[in-house]
Amino acid sequence: MSITGPRPKPTSIKILEGNPGKRPLNLNEPKPTQIAPECPKWLKPLAKKEWKRISPELERLGLLTRIDRAIFIGYCQNYAIYVETEKYLQENRRVIKTKNGAIKSRPEVYIAKNALNFVKAFAVEFGLTPSSRGRISLPSELIDDEFEALLD
């Protein structure tokens, strides 16, 4: 069986975007508790740092729950792989000479590219890119809370 077309968006994202398609919302969609998962101890150090940087904000916005743990691990680990690989490539050349004298890209170039592609794909899922964030409209209570915090 083949399913065509874009993946359906979660109802919470449709609501945040203002339901632009004006289609009926799936009110029976599972609604996990909006509590961020614990950061795994085995993550790469840079992945842990990214987890601690991003997860509180995603939890506050209701975009990260305990059941999102695996996908968020993927985001953080690939972020760490990308940064580590790019640092390596800054210290070393991006190309190498083969035994027969041909010039080709280091394998690390492809590792960095793949990791960045995974980061982007995961980031879109959590509204972490400018374009995906631009389609989200915050509920008025979140906007009011931020405005109140500015006045304090």
pLDDT in tens, 20-70: 778 877 777 677 788 899 999 999 999 999 999 999 999 988 889 999 999
> What DSSP state is assigned to residue 66?
G
pTM over 0.85: no
Q: Given CA atoms 3, 78, 14, 63 in this order, what sign does their dihedral have? A: positive
Chain-centre distance for alpha carbon 18: 21
Nearest of 74, 62, 86, 85 to residue 123 by alpha carbon: 74
Number of helices (H) and strands (E) in the chain: give both, helices first.
6, 2
Domain ranges across the chain: 33-139
Per-residue confidence band for 141, with pLDDT thresholds at 50, 70 and 90: low
12-21, 107-116, 132-141: range with highest mean pLDDT: 107-116
Q: What is the pLDDT of residues 73-101, one digit of tens each?
A: 999 999 999 999 999 999 999 999 999 99
What's the confidence (pLDDT) of residue 54?
A: 95
What's the confidence (pLDDT) of residue 127?
A: 84
Residue 16 has pLDDT above 80, yes or no: no
Q: How far apart are CA 76 and CA 59, in angstroms?
A: 15
CA distances to 8, 20, 53 from 23, in Å:
12, 8, 35
